Amino acid sequence: MNEVVYRSAEAASAVEAQYRRVLDHWPVAKTELHLPTRQGSTFVLACGPENAPPIVLLHGSQANSAGWLPDVALWSTRFRLFAVDMIGEPGLSARVRPGLAGDAHALWLDDVFEGLGLSRAALVGTSLGGWLALDYASRRPAAVRALALICPAGIGRQRNFLLKALPLLLLGSWGKRKMRELVFGPAPETLPEELQPIADLMESVGRAIKPRVVGIPRLTDAELGKLDVPILAIVGGRDVLLDSRDTRERLQRAAPQAEICFIEAGYHFLPDQTSRVMDFLERRVSSLRD
């Protein structure tokens, strides 16, 4: 197999086994689905009341649906959640990476929606998952009820993080730690016990994955202006991957309905947004039935 996601087949097997162990700690009852799509099998975790408004969760790059563990206990009290492992990432979906330009990912999500029996849903996306949500909303406006975006790609300018990262990579473990801090912020002195398995999994992913090194397409002002849905955008002022000020300014100009939460001291990783997203979903999506 020509591996496009992992550095080796052995690394892939180890990460997938570790991921499955983490999913054993999913905090609410769940159903695991493997949906056939034109890009291959797609893994989805479903939870929450079956007749509740549907929310599709889209994680970021170099990640998988384990990242939603801190959020789903609260969100699933009011919503039917579908956590989708993005293709081409270290989850349990197909290891293919079609180009981001064009409609390949929208067509893939068409198949996911069909497999889940959805005609319309709200989307929650983080980082590359935020771009995926925006791209789908732009191409399939009738299918998207609302967008909750955390550090989304696809709006603000993409920064050249490699210029900062490459010198640090030459400095061994200290340099790698400083590089992680630039993206995620300083590590806490003590990590809550329930988050340690997720942190360990992300460490393993970082060693095993082949990162995407691509330009992420940005929506034009005209495309942003056509997003006639409620939008929540949560961004960090210290994001080294994306220009969050540009994200804020473009949304203010082109999508004035957007609620923007600009966290001045926030990095690309913004933890503890569960309640803020829940408030938005309850106000904007609570009446949705499909």
Say how far apart CA 133 and CA 216 lie, in whole Å: 13
Residue at 54 is within a domain: yes
Q: Is residue 290 part of a domain?
A: no
Say whether 67 sits in a helix, a strand or coil. Answer: helix
How many domains are contained in the chain?
Answer: 1
Query: What per-residue string of b and e applies to 91-108 under the rule 16 or more CB within 10 Å gives b?
Result: bbbbbebeebeeebbbeb
Q: Is residue 3 part of a domain?
A: no
CA distance 67 to 19: 11
Is residue 2 in a domain?
A: no
CA 100 – CA 107 distance, rounded (Å): 12
Return the CATH number at 175.
Answer: 3.40.50.1820
Please indicate, yes or no, if residue 265 is contained in any of the structural domains. Answer: yes
Q: What CA–CA distance (Å, rounded) separates 197 from 106? A: 32
In a domain, residue 226? The reply is yes
- The answer to pTM > 0.85 is yes
Calculate helix-pair angle for 128-139, 104-116, nearest 10 degrees. Answer: 80
The answer to whether residue 236 is domain-embedded is yes
Question: Tens digit of pLDDT per residue, the chain (290 long)?
Answer: 457 899 999 999 999 999 999 999 999 999 999 999 999 999 999 999 999 999 999 999 999 999 999 999 999 999 999 999 999 999 999 999 999 999 999 999 999 999 999 999 999 999 999 999 999 999 999 999 999 999 999 999 999 876 566 555 555 665 567 667 778 888 777 888 888 999 999 999 988 999 898 899 999 999 999 999 999 999 999 999 999 999 999 999 999 999 999 999 999 999 999 999 999 999 999 765 54
Q: What is the DSSP string of 124-188?
A: EEETHHHHHHHHHHHH-GGGEEEEEEES-SSSSPBP-THHHHHHHHTTHHHHHHHHHHHHH-SPP
Closest-CA residue to 57 (of 143, 136, 133): 133
What domain range is 270 assigned to?
9-285
Give how far Cα 283 sits from Cα of 181, 216, 230, Å.
34, 31, 10
Tell me whether residue 1 is in a domain. no
